[in-house]
């Protein structure tokens, strides 16, 4: 009986781990931060994520950003914003696929100071 219970607990633990989805653990700039300038946009995940889309919106609308990271699953994603971003509020929106294939999305805001 004890072996059956241990086997069930182990199976439940593996099933729970298999259902876990990647999540953004940290960003650069940090969400809600006020910064003087932005040299890079980074997202760090707790599990590999395939970032399929990323957009940067500022006071004058959507800005072009250059991906440094391709479409391979990564735990750290990098993109380069345009140089000399004007002061104002910005939002980064991203979409991707977690390591278990589940579609994920998120966003964070930051402000570039005058």
**Sequence ranges of the domains in the chain:** 22-112
The pLDDT, as a whole number, for residue 25 is: 84
Nearest residue to 51 (alpha-carbon basis) of 22, 77, 82, 23: 77
**Which pTM was predicted?**
0.79
Q: Cα separation of 25 and 5, whole Å?
A: 34
Tens-digit pLDDT profile for residues 14-73: 444 444 566 668 999 999 999 999 999 999 999 999 999 999 999 999 999 999 999 999
The pLDDT, as a whole number, for residue 18 is: 45
- Domain 22-112 falls in which CATH fold? Immunoglobulin-like (2.60.40)
Phi, psi of 60 (to 5 degrees): -110, 15
The pLDDT, as a whole number, for residue 6 is: 42
């Amino acid at each position: 009986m004890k072996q059956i219970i241990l086997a069930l607990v182990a199976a439940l633990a593996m099933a729970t781990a298999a259902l876990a989805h990647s999540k953004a653990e940290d960003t650069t700039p940090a969400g809600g931060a006020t910064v003087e300038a932005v040299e890079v946009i980074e997202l760090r995940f707790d599990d590999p994520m395939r970032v399929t889309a990323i957009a940067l919106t500022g006071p004058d609308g959507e800005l072009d950003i250059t991906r440094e990271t391709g479409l391979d699953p990564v735990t750290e994603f990098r993109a380069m914003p345009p140089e000399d971003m004007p002061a104002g509020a910005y939002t980064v929106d991203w979409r991707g696929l977690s390591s278990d294939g589940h579609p994920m999305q998120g966003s964070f805001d930051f402000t570039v100071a005058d």
